[in-house]
């Protein structure tokens, strides 16, 4: 059995993505790792960061992003597909540039890949998620943050990244352009495994978080619209009060130790409920989501209500 790791990214170091840690977290259980590296800005050092890993398993594919042809976030899916197409493994393991796997889950992942390798009914493996917020000690258990997602799929050429690259679908005779198409797309049959994705997409120094959010908005909405939207937005992202966010008491992946040691923006976070009055509320602060979260966590034992599931559990 062969496992291929893959990802895509652009301007990872400039936008404070832990790309090296993401790759290193699955490299021990992968036979190769394919990275589609976009046309980064001159002041970005992503290539150097990836090459510093020093592994012969890693292959970099240089790409150019086209946000006009691949609009509404679909360039993310297109870039993901570029990397996936170069994978040679029986299974392909996707980690985004802000997602990290704990070393304690390696055995579970490999065992599941071996177990379902020859089971044609299983097309992918479904992971659990930990979404960190503001710092490395708080994570979301609120409604609206996806609890699961597909991150390993069989190396079937009909399986493609979908929409803005959050998930995968089987799309026969795909044109490699319309990544948001619904017709003639099929949800994958998956097995949920007891392994977690540690998602650090919302843990950055506030200035970097604002820049990352703007870059992501550009991918989805275009430069012109986003420039006008950000005219009056503060230079630093405001995470809001953290005293209502769940406390994380577990351990982070070992590959994150040096990255976490750089944490130096504690003085820019609110831990006692202080609020700025000039920002919109986040979803987890709104009464609707608070009510649904209460129902999920207290009355339904953590079961997600009204959530969209892009898979069929087997």
Mean pLDDT computed over every residue of the chain: 95
pLDDT class for 275, splitting at 50, 70, 90? low
pLDDT of residue 274: 63
Q: Give the residue, 296 or 67, on which the prediction is more confident.
A: 67
Helix or strand holding residue 20 (H, E)? helix 19-26
pLDDT of residue 224: 83
CATH number at residue 33: 3.90.550
- In the predicted model, is pLDDT for residue 28 greater than 80? yes
- Domain containing 49 equals 1-314
- In the predicted model, is pLDDT for residue 23 greater than 80? yes
Nearest to 129 by CA among 100, 172, 91: 100
- In the predicted model, is pLDDT for residue 297 greater than 90? no
Measured CA to CA, the distance from residue 254 to residue 75 in angstroms comes to 31
Query: Of 112-116, 151-155, 293-297, which range is least confident?
Result: 293-297
Q: Give the residue, 40 or 300, on which the prediction is more confident.
A: 40
Query: Of 102-111, 183-192, 284-293, which range is least confident?
Result: 284-293
Q: What is the DSSP letter of 159?
A: E
How many distinct structural domains can be found in the chain? 1
**Interval 218-254: pLDDT, tens:** 999 998 888 888 988 889 999 999 998 999 999 999 9
Helix (H, G, I), strand (E, B) or coil at 27: helix
The rounded Cα 38 to chain-centroid distance in angstroms is 17
Question: Concatenated DSSP letters for 163-206?
Answer: TTTTEEEE-TT--SS-TT--TT-BPEEEEEEEEEEEEEEE-S-H
Query: Of 64-78, 88-102, 114-128, 220-234, which range is least confident?
Result: 220-234
Helix (H, G, I), strand (E, B) or coil at 41: coil
Instruction: Provide CB contacts within 8 A for 20, sequence distance 6+.
Output: 49, 50, 52, 53
């Amino acid at each position: 059995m062969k496992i291929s790791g893959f990802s895509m990214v652009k301007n990872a170091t400039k936008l404070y993505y832990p790309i090296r840690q993401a790759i290193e977290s699955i490299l021990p259980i992968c036979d190769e790792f394919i990275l589609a590296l976009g046309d980064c800005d001159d002041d970005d050092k992503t290539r150097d960061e990836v090459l510093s890993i020093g592994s012969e398993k890693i292959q970099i594919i240089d790409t150019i992003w086209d946000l006009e042809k691949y609009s509404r976030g679909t360039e993310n899916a297109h870039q993901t597909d570029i990397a996936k197409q170069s994978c040679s493994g029986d299974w392909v393991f996707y980690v985004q540039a802000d997602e990290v796997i704990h070393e304690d889950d390696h055995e579970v992942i490999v065992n599941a890949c071996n177990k379902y390798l020859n089971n044609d009914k299983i097309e992918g493996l479904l992971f659990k998620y930990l979404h960190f917020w503001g710092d490395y000690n708080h994570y979301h258990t609120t409604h609206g943050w996806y609890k699961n997602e597909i991150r390993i799929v069989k190396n079937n050429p009909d399986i493609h990244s979908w929409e803005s690259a959050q998930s995968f679908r089987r799309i026969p005779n795909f044109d490699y352009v319309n990544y948001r198409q619904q017709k003639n797309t099929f949800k994958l049959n998956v097995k949920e495994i007891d392994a977690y994705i540690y998602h650090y997409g919302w843990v950055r120094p506030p200035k970097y978080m604002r820049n990352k959010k703007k870059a992501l908005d550009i991918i989805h909405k275009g430069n012109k619209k986003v420039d006008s939207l950000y005219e009056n937005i503060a230079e630093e992202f405001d995470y809001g009060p953290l005293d209502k966010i769940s406390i994380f008491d577990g351990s982070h992946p070992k590959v994150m130790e040096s990255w976490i040691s750089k944490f130096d923006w504690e003085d820019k976070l609110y831990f006692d409920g202080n609020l700025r009055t000039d920002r919109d509320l986040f979803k987890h602060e709104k009464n609707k989501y608070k009510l649904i979260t209460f129902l999920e966590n207290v009355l339904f034992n953590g079961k997600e209500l009204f959530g969209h599931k892009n898979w069929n559990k087997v």
